[in-house]
Amino acid sequence: MENIKIIRGDITTAKVDAIVNAANETLMGGGGVDGAIHSKAGYKLLEECEKIDVINGVRCPFGEARITGAGNLDAKYVIHTVGPIYFEMKEKADELLKNAYKNSLDLAREKECKSIAIPAISCGVYGFPIAKAAKIAVDVCKLYDDLEVIFYLHGERTYNAWQRAINEKTIKNDDETNKKNTSIGKKIKKFFSNILNKEQI
């Protein structure tokens, strides 16, 4: 879990290789994090988004990700991903959110990024339950231990949910390590016990 950090702050100030934008399907800017990123990055970001292929008005379907330059942001890239609208997509919302994180991180790897800033995807107007979203985010991001993942979070409730998810995962990992060590210890003890028994015979 050492690769994951959380910050209460403005993601547009992040100094990283890539910044993840919680976008909508058009990639033409919107409210919340999306609007803030486009505002700070400037018109260059919008120009790059306009170059992305459009199918029926959609540049990035739910759960997928697209990458562009970062305009005026202090990053090399912006990775645009579209998380699920929870109340419209309940049955597949969890999987779509996992894919949004995974596809974003895969793009960062492809571009040989070392650090990435990520917001709480789908936790604003898209209404994803925060505690569940935090667990999904941490579960996915812990698998990318070659990347420094920094979550930029708004509000005490969201920050605390991410902190709990990280703590729970750390405790679980510690428990699994202890069980493994205990099992190895028993095998070693049995091994030497068998040797001593043979010598006594």
Question: Which residues are known catalytic residues?
Answer: 34
Place of tokens 């708004």: 154
Question: Three-state SS across 11-33?
Answer: HHHCCCCEEEEECCCCCCCCCHH
**23, 81 Cβ separation under 8 angstroms:** yes
d(CA 11, CA 51): 24
Place of tokens 């399907």: 25
Q: What are phi and psi of 65, to 5 degrees?
A: -150, 150
